[in-house]
Amino acid sequence: MGKNFARKSIDPVGESKPRIDAREKVTGEGLYADDIQFGNKLLHARIKRSSYPHALIKKVDISKALALPGVKAIVTGDDFEGYIGLYLKDRHIFCRDRVRYVGDPVAGVAATTEAIAEQAVALIDVEYEPLVPVFDPEFGASPQAPLLHPDLGQYAVASFILPEAGTNISNHFKIRKGDVASAWGKCKAVIERHYRIPHIQHVPIEPHVAIAKVDEDGEITLWDSSQSPFAQRDLIAEALGVSQSNMRVIAPLVGGGFGGKAGVSMESLAVAIATKVNGYPVKLLLTREEEFYTAFVRQGMVAHLKMGCDESGKLLAMENTFYWDGGAYTEYGVNITRAAGYSCTGPYEVPNVRADSYCVYTNHPVGGPMRGFGMPEMHAGLEQCIDDLARQIGMDAVEFRRRNCLKANSILPTGGRMHPTGLSECLEKAAEAIDWGEKSPPSAPNKRRGKGLALMWKAPAMPGNAGSSAWIKLAEDGVLTVGIGAQDLGQGAFTVIAQMAAAAFGVPYESVRLATPVDTRYSPYEWQTVASRITWSTGNAIIKAAQDARHQVLELIAKAWDESPDDLDIVNGMVVSYKSEREIPVKNFAVQGLPKEGGKGWMGGPIIGHGNFIPSDVTGLDPETGQGEHAVVHYTTGAQAIDLEVDLDTGRIEILKGVAAFDVGKAINPELVKAQMEGGLVQGMSSALFECLKLKDGYVQNPSFVDYRIATAADIPKIVQSILVEVPQDDGPWGARGIGEHSMVATVPAIANAIYNAIGLRFDGPPFTAEKIYLAMLDAGIVKGSK
Amino acid sequence: MAIHPVHLTVNGHLEQVNVPSNMTLLVLLREVLALTGTKNGCSAGECGACTVLLNGEPVNSCMVLAVECDGAEVTTVEGLANDRQLDPVQEAIIQAGGVQCGFCTPGVLISSRALLNRNPEPSEEEIKEALVGNLCRCTGYFRIIEAVKQAAKG
């Protein structure tokens, strides 16, 4: 549908337009949630957090804290009995009887200053009865493990999530396809590998912040840094037992999300506290330290992988088991484990598959969505195995992937068929970009050079009915204002939305404004800005909204000119007739309408179009076999390739060149797409080389930028190359599909494969720190020295 | 807590403020002067989002006490543009696509401006070195570095 408009109008789709939000961001004018001024009535909140990984709460004594001057309110779990959670309602806003991780909120304070709130928190006495904690997901899944959620069987849960009551397994996703047991005998080579993927953090530079206010008649307003204003409205209202329409979320600029600001986490704390101090705005701003251990973490994961192929290199079977360290609550994490389950083979056609993906409660920080939603963790080991299996049968790793990777109509692990995909093209282009197959010399005698490559796939992981909507209205000057509920997290959604609206209606890009910030009272519904779904899903809603507005315009002019709407078009803000060659600027009638002939009144009226979109064909999967017709809406596929050097004196890795090639269907804004591919590659590189949330007995050991290192400007690849492949998505706007998260999925295994190529060593998981590599080289006799 | 009178120039404007001993320059800028363009990313001098020019030198404003700034000249991101005319480094970062979420951008711009003031033709390595204290989680830094190169060319 979008294509027709695109052909006829001046078409900003496919052009690298400058960001619509760039100017306000470079001048400092743009408002982030913590920048909004609330005046003297603003109260500051701090949270009393559990100091035990697992304990019963025997008593909470707030009397001393309440007596502190400046303290306005203190709340505890006794005040809020509701459950909250996206897919599995397994947590209270404040702990009621039990704490399950170090940092679990036990009480909240609102005071006139942050210092007083902090003092009050220190004065709250909590008496605990420590319980035996669980820190290993594999042990946690066993019958010997103490139960962390005895009420698991009673929790409300989405239909496609399968908890096992009486265990710590909050989701068990299975694939049973073909006959794995008998397939091994037909394999020429079979390998088995085990990997441990550590917890990591999202680390947006903007910490989480929420300001909540409840007015005298109970209307709640929440201003926050949010990927999910509508989901927050829904879930917080439900947990507090208020109507969704009495809960308003205003979501200004987001200083980075990466999944960590999706769903509901600390926002509910601010709202809950605010319900006790009507009329006062209450601000909760996480410290950087809290950001590390109380915000959603990327779950740790243990993978046991087994795969085999015949002598021609054809993959015959895979048997993959994933134990996810879901942490204390898995309300969001359960769906990550499902996504990894239905994508368990990676982007390959495998006739016989057995997979078990377990989401396991532990007494670690709460797992949640992070860029890639399980795919970076899952591919990290899988794509190393593919290299090893290829080597086992003496086949080049690119050739092996060429033979096995998904093509249009390949059969998926869930039983359905793959849509058209440019994966093979991505593979070829990524390999070519690092001169695959040619041995390149190291830059110095004390260095070893290596090349590696990995493929990936990822689908938007979301309920089958995750909806989008949009409206488009015209002003007196002919400028379009587009209402959306989607957020710009930095990925460029606002810019791409403006480009799509301009193209679909027929005005220049410069004639589009967005109705932001998103405000659930005025903005159209959007499920969440997650899953790399906005360009695709919101884009489809925008096309429908533009069609609606166009229809109103063209009907009016057809009537005025006595022509057929089929002969009319809107081009560059003008309605034109291809038949009579008349034209009229849209602004001449967009608000005022047009006079009828002979002064006999008016026709038309202010133009406003609306549109919505919901995926229509996602089917359920059989709970025992994971088989179904259409597991997901689509898969974005791609490849990353790495050329690196290992320093034999230090173990340090230097990335000489990083290459990303992704099939994005259609790049609405090619430079923004490339920017995603570059940023994701560096985030992936950072997780490969540096990042690990160090957990000891449930305590995060490195909750600061000094101890949890992320990539700086000095660490990046010397050369980066981004390659766009465009095999259109049949139901995507202009053929587009998402790219935001995919760009860090294949990076860890591509680097691991390059390290192996350089020094012949494998590791059981990232990060591949200089220390780890150097010690391994010592052990292997590659370098000489003592530890 | 003791309160101290402080006179300082911020973005060319003379300001007279009374600050408690423990107030940081970052808090003074954001909460007293409402110059919220300077961002708070860690309050520990580690992320660079709060970088401002203090007497021409880039500093983490969360690590400077306001009381130390008596008589000082401070430039924040709001002071880079001159009467709506963007600084070349602001213009370049838009053109190069070096802005994503924008939260590190004010600090990045200030560090870049400081670099170009002392070294109008920096090498790529010098640019990286100048930006090593400004963490960015979105861009992978490539387009930021490109922007500084473009701004240097003028």
H, E, C per residue of A429-450: HHHHHCCCCCCCCCCCCCEEEE
CB A555 within 8 A of CB A565: yes
CA-CA distance, A713 to B48, in Å (whole number)? 12
3-state helix/strand/coil string of A251-284: ECECCCCCCCCCCCCCHHHHHHHHCCCCCCCEEE
In whole angstroms, give the CA distance from residue A574 to residue A113: 56
**Distance from the B98 Cα atom to the nearest Cα atom in chain A, whole angstroms:** 8
| Distance to chain A for B7, nearest Cα, Å | 23
- Looking at the complex, report in whole angstroms how far the Cα of residue B71 sits from the nearest Cα belonging to chain A: 24
Q: How many CB atoms lie within 10 A of CB A417?
A: 12
In contact, A87 and A243? CB cutoff 8 Å:
no
Q: Please tell me the distance from the alpha carbon of residue A408 to that of residue A547, in angstroms, as a whole number.
A: 31
What are the backbone angles phi and psi of residue A681, rounded to the nearest 5°? Answer: -60, -40
Residues of A in contact with B131 (CB under 8 A): 712-713
The domain spans of chain B are 3-79, 88-153
Say whether A27 and B41 touch across the interface (CB within 8 A): no
Contact B138 A720 (CB under 8 A): no
Residue A98 phi, psi dihedral angles, 5° rounding: -150, 140
Asked if B137's CB is within 8 angstroms of A710's CB, the reply is yes
Contact B78 A704 (CB under 8 A): no
CA distances from A523 to A218, A230, A484 (A): 21, 10, 6
| Chain B residue nearest residue A719, CA to CA | B142
Residues of B in contact with A681 (CB under 8 A): 140
B3-79: which CATH topology?
Answer: Ubiquitin-like (UB roll) (3.10.20)
B132 closest CB neighbour out of A37, A255, A713: A713
Distance in angstroms (rounded) separating the CA atoms of residues B23 and B28:
7
Residue identified by tokens 């050739």 is A399
Which stretches in chain A have pLDDT values below 70?
Answer: 1-10, 787
pLDDT along chain B (154 residues), means of 10: 96 98 98 97 98 98 98 98 94 98 98 98 98 98 98 92
Domain A23-131+208-285 homologous superfamily, CATH: Aldehyde oxidase/xanthine dehydrogenase, a/b hammerhead (3.90.1170.50)
Cβ <8 Å between A27 and B37: yes
Question: What is the spatial distance between Cα A625 and Cα A137, in angstroms, rounded to a whole number?
Answer: 23
Q: Is the CB of A716 less than 8 angstroms away from the CB of B141?
A: yes
Contact A19 B97 (CB under 8 A): yes
Q: What angle do CA A495, A496, A499 make, to 5 degrees?
A: 90
- Cα separation, A597 vs B63, whole angstroms: 71
Q: How far apart are CA A208 and CA A223, in angstroms?
A: 11
Is the omega angle on the peptide bond into residue A517 within 30 degrees of 0, that is, cis?
Answer: yes
How far is Cα A474 from Cα A607, in angstroms, rounded to an integer?
6
Q: Assign domain B88-153 one CATH number from 2.60.40.1080, 3.30.70.20, 3.40.50.300, 1.10.150.120.
A: 1.10.150.120
Number of Cβ within a 10 Å radius of residue A311: 11
Name residue, tokens 């791609």. Answer: A638
Please answer yes or no on whether A28 and B77 come within 8 Å at the CB atom.
Answer: yes
What pLDDT, on the 0 to 100 scale, is given for residue A11?
86
Q: What is the pLDDT of residue B154?
A: 79
DSSP class per residue in A634-674: --EEEEEEEEEEEETTT--EEEEEEEEEEE-SS-SSHHHHH
B145: which chain A residues are within 8 Å (Cβ-Cβ)? 713
Peptide bond before residue A442 is cis, with ω within 30 degrees of 0: no
Q: Work out the minimum CA distance from A304 to partner chain B, whole angstroms.
A: 31
Say how far apart CA A767 and CA A589 lie, in whole Å: 61
Contacts of A362 by beta carbon, 8 Å cutoff, 6+ apart: A133, A134, A135, A136, A137, A140, A148, A168, A325, A326, A327, A328
Chain A's closest residue to B33, CA to CA, is A37
In angstroms, what CA-CA distances link A589 with A261, A557, A562, A592, A605? 42, 9, 16, 5, 8
Residues of A in contact with B134 (CB under 8 A): 713
State in Å, rounded, how far the first CA of chain B is from the last one. Answer: 48
pTM: 0.98
Query: In angstroms, what CA-CA distances link A133 with A100, A101, A199, A633, B33?
Result: 8, 9, 18, 39, 48
Q: What is the rounded distance in angstroms from the CA atom of residue A326 to the CA atom of residue A336? A: 9
Q: How many residues does chain B have?
A: 154
- On chain B, the residues whose CB falls within 8 A of the CB of A18 are 94-95
Question: Can you list the alpha helix ranges (DSSP code H) found in A487-596?
Answer: 493-505, 539-561
Q: Which two tokens stand for residue A615?
A: 């995926």
Measured between its terminal Cα atoms, the distance across chain A in Å is 65
Q: With both helix axes pointing from N to C terminus, report the angle between A670-689 and B142-153 in degrees, rounded to the nearest 10.
A: 120
- Catalytic positions of A: 741
Beta strands at A209-214 and A282-285: parallel, antiparallel or unpaired: antiparallel
CA dist A497 and A514 (Å) reads: 9
Q: Tell me the per-residue pLDDT of A315-364, one tens digit each, with 9 for 90 and over.
A: 999 999 999 999 999 999 999 999 999 999 999 999 999 999 999 999 99
**Range(s) within chain A of domains with CATH label 3.30.365.10:** 297-462+620-780, 468-613
User: Taking CB atoms and an 8 Å limit, are B103 and A204 in contact across chains?
Assistant: yes
Between B40, B80, B139, which is nearest A678 by CB?
A: B139
Q: Which of A37, A202, A205 sits opposite B104 (nearest CB)?
A: A205
Strand order, beta sheet including B3-10: B13-20, B3-10, B73-75, B51-54, B57-60
Q: Nearest Cβ partner of A255 from B46, B93, B102?
A: B102
Residues 6+ apart with CB under 8 A from A581: none
Question: Which residue, among A362, A346, A471, has the nearest Cα to A406 in the 3D structure?
Answer: A346
B129–A203 C-beta distance less than 8 A: no
Collapse the DSSP code of A771 into the 3-class scheme (helix H, G, I; strand E, B; otherwise coil) and give the result: helix
Q: Which of B44, B129, B139 sits opposite A704 (nearest CB)?
A: B44
- How many secondary structure helices (H) and strands (E) does chain B include? 5, 5
- What CATH architecture does domain A468-613 belong to? 2-Layer Sandwich (3.30)
Which pair of structure tokens corresponds to residue A415?
């039983």
Q: Which helix (H) or strand (E) holds B118?
A: helix B105-118
Give the model's pLDDT for residue A100.
98
Q: Is there a contact between A28 and B106 if contact means CB atoms under 8 Å apart?
A: yes
Q: Residue A131 corresponds to which tokens in the numbers above?
A: 């319980």
Taking the Cβ of residue B141 and every Cβ of chain A, the question of whether any pair is shorter than 8 Å is answered with yes
The β-bridge partners of A512 are: A480
| B90 touches A at CB < 8 Å | yes
Residue among A691, A700, A764 nearest A200 (CA): A691
Please list, in sequence order, all residues whose beta carbon lies within 8 angstroms of the beta carbon of residue A344, skipping any fewer than 6 positions away: A175, A318, A320, A322, A353, A355, A357, A378, A413
What is the C-alpha to C-alpha distance for residues A281 and A215, in angstroms, rounded to an integer?
A: 9
Q: Smallest CA–CA separation between A677 and chain B, in Å?
A: 9
B interface test, pick of A119, A202, A205 with most B CB neighbours within 10 Å? A205
Question: Which of A18, A492, A705 comes nearest B47 by C-beta?
Answer: A705
Give the integer Cα–Cα distance in Å for A734 and A665: 8
How many Cβ atoms sit within 10 Å of the Cβ of residue A616? 10
Give the span between the Cα atoms of A755 and A764, in whole angstroms. 13
**Continuous segment of H or E residues that includes residue A751:** helix A747-759
Interface contacts (A, B; CB < 8 Å): 163
Cβ atoms of residues A420 and A726 within 8 Å: no
Find, among B120, B147, B33, B1, the residue nearest to A713 by Cα: B147
Q: What is the pLDDT of residue A565?
A: 98
Q: Are A57 and A78 in contact (CB under 8 A)?
A: no
The DSSP call for residue A19 is P
In sequence order, the β-bridge partners of residue A98 are A56
Angle between helices B124-131 and B105-118 (to 10 degrees): 130
Amino acid identity, residue A352? N
Tokens 């303290």 belong to A71
Helix ranges (DSSP H) in A371-441: 375-392, 397-404, 423-433
Residue in B35, B76, B100 nearest the CB of A675: B100
**Fold exhibited by the domain A297-462+620-780:** Aldehyde Oxidoreductase; domain 4 (3.30.365)
Asked if residue A586 lies in contact with residue A575, where contact means CB atoms within 8 angstroms, the answer is: yes
- Chain A neighbours among B 110-139 (CB < 8 Å)? 127-129, 131-139
Task: Give A108's contacts (C-beta < 8 A, 6+ positions apart).
Answer: A45, A46, A47, A48, A74, A75, A76, A94, A269, A272, A273, A284
Residues 13-52 of B with CB under 8 A from A: 30, 34-44, 46-47, 49
What backbone torsions phi and psi does residue A596 show, to the nearest 5 degrees?
Answer: -75, 160
Nearest by Cα to A231 from A90, A161, A331: A331
